[in-house]
Structures are given as structure tokens and as C-alpha cells.
Structure 1
Amino acid sequence: MSLHQSSGRWRLGLALSLLTVFLWGILPIALTVMLQVLDVYTIIWFRFLVSFVLLAVYLGVRGQLPKLKQLRSNSWKLLAIATIFLASNYLLFMQGLALTSPANAEVLIQLSTLLLGLGGLVIFKERYRLYQWIGVSILTLGYLLFFREQLTNLITAHSTYILGSVLIALGAAAWAIYALAQKQLLQSLSSASVMLIIYGGCALLFTPLASVKSIFTLGNLHLGMLLFCALNTLIAYGAFAESLEHWEASRVSAVLALAPIVTLISIEAVSVITPYLIPPEHLTLIGILGAVLVVAGSVAIALGKAERL
């Protein structure tokens, strides 16, 4: 089986990856607020349904709806894998987020970017140079420093917190499988077409579990937050999928590792503006040093010249 090759337009891939980082970085805050008023299944169902409808309208207007008859049997298998594992990722992450905190959830979900990077190296024959492996080491050290408080909490936490963390880690593994399947699907479909099919499949999976009536009881704040979560799904995953078209999976994963820093900064900002929504996360000097190392490590990995085995 031939493997997908990136277009080589790395600047576009980098820009799309950074957009994904920003949107995924602020998403846990919005989801935490929504979990105060809606159940996990309804939130997930709404996000996928709105994303599917809006993307279907956009592609329909442009005359770019996917032609499913042209798909090979192997593509259908990959679509099923991508759909099931993305749905699993959403469910596991949301359940874990409900049991922990936005900061902890965003730390642990970064296991997904590590697994995606390894998958890119093993499956798609991508390769790191020596200084990029040094970048991996710097990034890892940065995370250990930046999230020292969260990691300590994880070790000493009660059983509910630990269960939530385990669920998020499983969700990270599910996401990496989805992302690798997504990249290979780009051989036969555009990124938008792949996401349309996946959104529709995930929406169908969660339809029996969703409590649709509860959405109509939401106030303006929570309804706006729910719509933001749905649009976040559409734009962030669209940008992520397109970034894989133009850049190696191992490089995209390195940039995505910056998302927790966006989350922590956003939590600080939100806690100042509206302290009743999200409790603040207190950064120390060591945490700030860790943030700098994470950025430096990500840049070293992401901007390095691509090699192939």
C-alpha cells in the first residue's frame, strides 16, 4: 500500500497547525463551563452535528461534496477506523475532563501528539535529525517543569481524579490512531471531504445518547458557549486535517504540543475577567521556564528540514 506524501508547503502547514493549537488550547475552558449544564453525550453530539451540517453546506455550495463511489474498500475501512476512534477520543476526553481540570486534561492529552509523532516516524517513514531529537528532549524537560504542580496532583490525587486522568490518556491514544488514519485517507479524498464523512458518522453514533431537549433550556451564555464548541470543532479539525496535507505528521504533532500553554494562559485571563467560571492556575518561575523550554523544543522539531528514510 502506498503511503501519503506531504505537499511540502511547510509554511502553510505551520500556520494551520498554529491555528489548531490556539483553538484546542482554549477549548477545555469552554467545555468545562458546558459540563456544568449539559451531559457529555449531548455536548459531543451537538458539536459533531453542527460541524457536519455547516461543512456539508459549504462543500455543497462549492460543488465539492465527496463522491463516495470512487472510494476503494481500503478507504472505507480507514474511514470507519477514523470515525470510531475520533468518537472515542471525544467521549474519553470529555469524561476525563469532568473528573479532573482543564489544565490537567490538556497536559495528559498531549500524549496524543507524542504518539502521532512516533506514528509519523514509523508508519510514514518520516525522520528526525539529531538536533530535532534534542528538541524532543528539551520539550519533555519543559513539560516536566511547566506542569510540575499538575503532575504532583496526579500522583497524590484521589481515585476520581486518577480515573479521569486514565480516561484522558486512553483518549489520547484513540486520537493518535484517528489522526494517522486521517493522514492516509488524504490519498483518496480531500481533507474537507474526510472530515465531513467523519463528522456525520460520529453524529450518528451519539444521536441515541443525546438529550436534545436540554439544549433548549440553556441561557444565552451557555448556548453561545455550546455554539463556540461546535465551531471550534469545525475550524480546528479542518485546519488540523489540512495541515497534514502539507506537512509531516511528526512536525504537526510537535507544534500541537504548544496547546497546554495556550490553555494555562487562557485560564489565567478568564479567571481575572470572570472568576466565577474557572478557578485560576498559579504559574511559578519554574513553570514559566518550563513554558520557554516547551516552545524552544517544539520550534526545533517543527522547523527542522524534513528527511526520509
Structure 2
Amino acid sequence: MELHRTTGNWRLGLGLSLVTVILWGLVPVAIAIVLKKLDVYTINWFRFATAFILLGFYLFRQENIPKFSQLRSVPIYLFAIAILGLMGNYIFFVMGLKATSPSHAEVVIQLAGVFLSLGGLIIFKERYTRYQWLGVGILLAGFIGFFSEQLKVLAADSDRYINGSIMLVIAGITWAIYALIQKQLLTKLESAHIMWVIYGVCGLLFWTVAKPQTLLDLNSIEWMALIFCGLNTVIAYGAFAESLQHWEASRVSAILALAPIFTIVSMSLTAWLSPGLVTPEHITALGFLGAILVVVGSMSISLGKS
């Protein structure tokens, strides 16, 4: 089987990776803004519906709408698991973010990459180098340090914080399940076709419990934040997929590991520029060091491949 080769245009690959990591780093802040007026299901319904419509329009313009015969080539249970996995990720991530904070959510969700790697070790019999195992150790040490420092800061509300963290860990697990299943789906279908079907089904399922009428309660800033969330789902994923065409996956993944830093910085700037728009976060120096170690660990896992 012929392996995929990059174009070698590393500057374009780096640029697209930076677009992705900035968008992924900003989306927790946007979610925190709209959570004041909307529930978890309405936010996710809007995100998936927007993604389904925009990606569908793109596929239509490209005359690349998947045929039913193509979709039938994939066992329906694989699609079902992928859909439930991604829905679980979106639900538990937003619930965990609501119970903690955007920066905390972005740090903890880095565990998703570890769960995905462990799945690769178990299911696909992949192997880790010693540098990757070192990266796992650094990431876990950073996570423990960040978590313990946040518990000290939020001692009065520690139960809610712990419950929110558990939800974020579940979000990471469900994302890893989705990603592992998608790896199998890619042997039969194009990635855009897979995502279009998943976006559509997820949007339809979320619509059954969403409250669209609450969208009327949003002000202009909250509307912009919600639209950003919807566009983020399509643009960030598209930039990520395109970056892999021009740059090695390990290097792209290393850049994406910087997402928590962008979230922490953007939260601080938002709280400073527009007090009251988001709840200010209180991250100690040791907590920030823990977040840095999480990033370094994630990058080591990505770049440590033999």
C-alpha cells in the first residue's frame, strides 16, 4: 500500500497548524460566553447544524456529495459508535467547562491525545519510543500539578471542580473512541464525507433536545461568540486536515499541543478588555507551570515517534 506523502511545503503546513491551534484555543472562551444564555444541547445543536450546512455547501460546489452506495460500504455500527463518541465528547466537554473554566478544560482535554495513543497501542499494536513514554510521564506530572494547584485555589467549590474534571476526562475518552473509529472509516470513505454525515446526524439528534427559542435571548456579542463556535467546527477541522497534506502529522500534533496556552492567554485578555463578559480565572504560578508541562508532554509524545 502506498503511504501518504506530504508536499513538503512546511511553511503552509505550519501556518495552517497555527490557524487550527488558535481556533481550538479560542473556542472554550466563546463557549463560556454563550453558556450564560444557552444550555449544552442548544450550543452543540447550533455548532453541528452550522457545520453540516457549510460543509454540505462546499461538497455540493465541488460536486462531491457522497452517494448512498458509498455510505453503505461502511458497517452502520461503526458510524453509530463514531457519532455517539463525538456527541459524548461535545456534551461532556461543555458540561466540564461550565463546571470549571475554559483554561482548565483545555488543559484536561489534552488527555484525549493520551487516550488515543493508548488505543493505538492496544488496538493497532503501535509502539512507543522511550521519548514518548517520557512525554507521557511529563504530561501526567503536569496534569497532577495543575489540578492540585487549582483545587487549592477553588477549595470552597472543590466538589464541583472535581465533578467537572471527571466530565472532561470522559470527554477525552469519548473523543479517543471517536478518533479510533474514524481511523477505520477512513479506509472506506473520504474524511469530508465522514464528517458531513456525522455532523448531520449529531445535529439532528441534538435538535430533539435543543431549545432554539433561547437564541432570541442572545445579545450581539453572544451571537458573535455562538457563530464563531459554529464556524470553528468547520474551519479548524478543515485547516487541520489540510495541514497534514503539507507537514508531518507529528509536527502538526506538536503545534496543536499549544492550545491550552492560547486559551489561558485569551481568557486573561478577555477578562481584562471586557470585565464581566467572562469569569476571571485564578491560575497560580505553579498551576501555570503544570499547564506548561502538559504542553511539553504532549509535544514530546508527538515528536518522539521513531
Give the conservation status (yes or no) of the 8 Å contact 2:33–2:277. Answer: yes
Give the conservation status (yes or no) of the 8 Å contact 2:145–2:286. Answer: yes
One-letter code aligned to 1:138: I
**Take 1:238 and 1:61, find their aligned partners in 2: how far apart are those partners?**
16
One-letter code aligned to 1:7: H
Q: CA deviation at 1:158?
A: 4.4
**Take 1:124 and 1:304, find their aligned partners in 2: how far apart are those partners?**
18
Give the conservation status (yes or no) of the 8 Å contact 2:21–2:259. Answer: yes
- The correspondence of residues 196-275 of structure 1 with structure 2, limited to 5 A, is 196-240=196-240, 256-275=256-275
Q: CA deviation at 1:237?
A: 3.1
Q: CA deviation at 1:145?
A: 3.6
**Take 2:72 and 2:294, find their aligned partners in 1: how far apart are those partners?**
41
Q: Which stretches in structure 1 are left out of the alignment for 5+ residues?
A: none
Note closer, same or farther for the CA distance 1:165–1:286 as it changes in structure 2 (3 Å cut). closer
Give the conservation status (yes or no) of the 8 Å contact 1:46–1:230. Answer: yes
Partner SS state of residue 304, structure 2: coil
**Take 1:31 and 1:245, find their aligned partners in 2: how far apart are those partners?**
30
**Take 1:246 and 1:79, find their aligned partners in 2: how far apart are those partners?**
28
One-letter code aligned to 2:177: I
Partner SS state of residue 277, structure 1: coil
TM-score w.r.t. the length of structure 1 is: 0.84
| Counterpart residue number, 2:42 | 42
One-letter code aligned to 1:122: I
One-letter code aligned to 1:91: I
Note closer, same or farther for the CA distance 1:173–1:155 as it changes in structure 2 (3 Å cut). farther
**Take 1:167 and 1:60, find their aligned partners in 2: how far apart are those partners?**
37
Partner SS state of residue 215, structure 2: helix
- The correspondence of residues 49-68 of structure 1 with structure 2, limited to 5 A, is 49-68=49-68
- The correspondence of residues 47-126 of structure 1 with structure 2, limited to 5 A, is 47-126=47-126
Give the conservation status (yes or no) of the 8 Å contact 2:260–2:291. Answer: no
Note closer, same or farther for the CA distance 1:45–1:221 as it changes in structure 2 (3 Å cut). same
CA RMSD of aligned residues (A): 3.1
One-letter code aligned to 1:104: H
**Take 1:207 and 1:5, find their aligned partners in 2: how far apart are those partners?**
41
Note closer, same or farther for the CA distance 1:216–1:6 as it changes in structure 2 (3 Å cut). farther
| Count of paired positions | 303
**Take 1:196 and 1:256, find their aligned partners in 2: how far apart are those partners?**
23
TM-score w.r.t. the length of structure 2 is: 0.84
**Take 1:177 and 1:90, find their aligned partners in 2: how far apart are those partners?**
13
Partner SS state of residue 208, structure 2: helix
- The correspondence of residues 157-168 of structure 1 with structure 2, limited to 5 A, is 157-168=157-168
**Take 1:75 and 1:284, find their aligned partners in 2: how far apart are those partners?**
49
One-letter code aligned to 2:187: Q
Q: CA deviation at 1:69?
A: 0.5
**Take 1:232 and 1:129, find their aligned partners in 2: how far apart are those partners?**
34
Alignment equivalent of 2:4, drawn from 4, 7, 11? 7
Give the conservation status (yes or no) of the 8 Å contact 2:73–2:188. Answer: no
Note closer, same or farther for the CA distance 1:38–1:260 as it changes in structure 2 (3 Å cut). same
The superposition leaves residues 30-66 of structure 1 with CA deviations (integer Å, 9 ceiling, x where unpaired) of 1111011112211111110011000000111011112
Note closer, same or farther for the CA distance 1:170–1:128 as it changes in structure 2 (3 Å cut). same
One-letter code aligned to 1:35: L
Give the conservation status (yes or no) of the 8 Å contact 1:82–1:177. Answer: yes
Give the conservation status (yes or no) of the 8 Å contact 2:86–2:175. Answer: yes
Give the conservation status (yes or no) of the 8 Å contact 1:29–1:263. Answer: yes
Q: CA deviation at 1:239?
A: 4.0
One-letter code aligned to 1:149: E
Note closer, same or farther for the CA distance 1:297–1:98 as it changes in structure 2 (3 Å cut). closer
Q: CA deviation at 1:199?
A: 0.3
Note closer, same or farther for the CA distance 1:90–1:240 as it changes in structure 2 (3 Å cut). same
The superposition leaves residues 65-90 of structure 1 with CA deviations (integer Å, 9 ceiling, x where unpaired) of 12230245544322221111111221
**Take 1:56 and 1:132, find their aligned partners in 2: how far apart are those partners?**
38
**Take 1:235 and 1:173, find their aligned partners in 2: how far apart are those partners?**
24
Partner SS state of residue 126, structure 1: coil
Note closer, same or farther for the CA distance 1:233–1:252 as it changes in structure 2 (3 Å cut). same
